[in-house]
Amino acid sequence: MSRRPSLADTMKAVAAKAAPPPVPMREAVPKQVAQAKAQQEGEGERKPFFAATREGLKRITVAVAPADHKRLKRLSVDTGRSIEDLMREALADLFAKHD
């Protein structure tokens, strides 16, 4: 039965091989120059994706325990409603409670 090659020996052999020559980096182009060049070539400035259904809305991020997140996902599946919809309902209930 033959022994498996040692990982340490293999790593030393790989390190001993000559590394490929470094690739020269492009010279940094100022952002304004790059934008002007893109406009000349017919490329406009790209706009980030925006869902029209969320026009005028703000995002809220909440950190929850993994168990709570799992329960929320399960409730979403069981009720056939999105997590976003469930969270809006919970927020409306909270506001109603404190009005």
Asked if residues 71 and 79 have their Cβ atoms less than 8 Å apart, the reply is no
Share of the chain above pLDDT 70, in %: 77
Asked if residues 73 and 80 have their Cβ atoms less than 8 Å apart, the reply is no
Least confident of 9-13, 16-20, 56-60, 71-75: 16-20
CA 60 remoteness from chain centre: 17
CATH number among 1.10.1220.10, 3.60.20.10, 1.10.3720.10, 3.40.47.10, domain 58-99: 1.10.1220.10
pLDDT in tens, 2-21: 788 888 888 888 877 766 77
In the 8-state DSSP scheme, what is residue 13? H
Can you say whether residue 42 is alpha, beta or left, with left for phi > 0 and alpha for psi between -120 and 50 degrees? left
In the 8-state DSSP scheme, what is residue 17? S
* pLDDT tops 90 at residue 41: no
Q: Return the biggest CA–CA distance within the chain.
A: 79
